[in-house]
Structure 1
Amino acid sequence: MDGSASIGSSQETFKIYDEEENLISECGDLEGYAYEYFHENGLETEHSKCDFIAQIHFKKERDGGRNQYVKSDYRSQLVFNFDDFQTSHRQIYIGTNYAFPGDLVNAEIDILSQEYFHRKLKAGMGFKFYEGPQLIGTGRIIKIINSKLQK
């Protein structure tokens, strides 16, 4: 799968966006995105010590997000949509070492306040993450790894 096509003697490449106008691919490549979309439960989690796997979206700079990329092992504040409690968390990106403004990536997430969220989390649950008061992204839990957090 790709977003390029031959037109006459030239090869054209297309940017690909999802339904919410988020950029999926800069160069038309869909294979990685499609694999993750259709095989979410196939994410490598056997040896993971994270709390859960999530799909996260970084806001674009023009929408109030960061103006630069972050590296895997990025840390910020996380708030779940069902609660106002804010906790520190760490993001380890799956399949990439960087996340840029506007990116949609899968990540292993570790949260600091595990005791507080005992039996409160489930797949599909949404959250937001912040740098200080600035909302820089949103996420959705794909799979709970730490069974103590499972609702």
Structure 2
Amino acid sequence: MERKPHFIALLTFASAEESNKTTPVSSGYRATIHFSFEQNHFTGIQNFMDTDLVFPGDVVNAEITLLNIENFKEKLYQGLDFDFYENENLIGHGVVVKVTHP
């Protein structure tokens, strides 16, 4: 079963100095996403729209598919900002540009 993306976001990856991440990530990257008003963290699959590799410090558009969000989908809206993590390390920030699959 193919999952449909829930939204498109503008992602700003933190620099290597800020995130301690020195290697690029490829499309399909799974990060932990945290929305400021929600206690839970969500796994989000990031499929980059204009490139296959993203380096620390890059800004890209990506389709995001969230896992296990049955009670959360209706809370997504254009302009919603969020942070994304790898383990406990902050990797970057994002802003919802368009909700694609409510």
Q: Same fold (TM over 0.5)?
A: yes
Q: What's the TM-score once normalised by structure 2's chain length?
A: 0.91
Deviation at 1:55, TM superposition (A): 0.3
- Which structure exhibits the higher relative contact order, with contacts defined as CA atoms closer than 8 Å and separated by 6 or more residues? 2
Please state which structure has a larger fraction of its residues in strand.
2
Instruction: State the aligned residue count.
Output: 100
Is the counterpart of residue 73 in structure 1 residue 45 in structure 2? no
1:42-65 CA-partner distances (Å, limit 9, x unpaired): xxxxxx921100000110011124
Is the counterpart of residue 138 in structure 1 residue 79 in structure 2? no
Structure 2 unaligned regions, length at least 5: none
RMSD: 1.4
Measured in 1, the distance between the counterparts of 2:59 and 2:98 equals: 16
Q: Find runs of 4+ consecutive structure 1 residues off by over 3 angstroms.
A: none
- What is the aligned partner in structure 2 of residue 14 from structure 1? none
- What is the aligned partner in structure 1 of residue 78 from structure 2? 123
1:76-132 CA-partner distances (Å, limit 9, x unpaired): 111112222101110000110011000000000000022131311100000111111
Identity of aligned residues (%): 37
Structure 1 unaligned regions, length at least 5: 1-47
Letter in 2 for 1:128: D
Flag the structure with larger Rg: 1
Q: Which moved more, 1:58-67 or 1:87-96?
A: 58-67
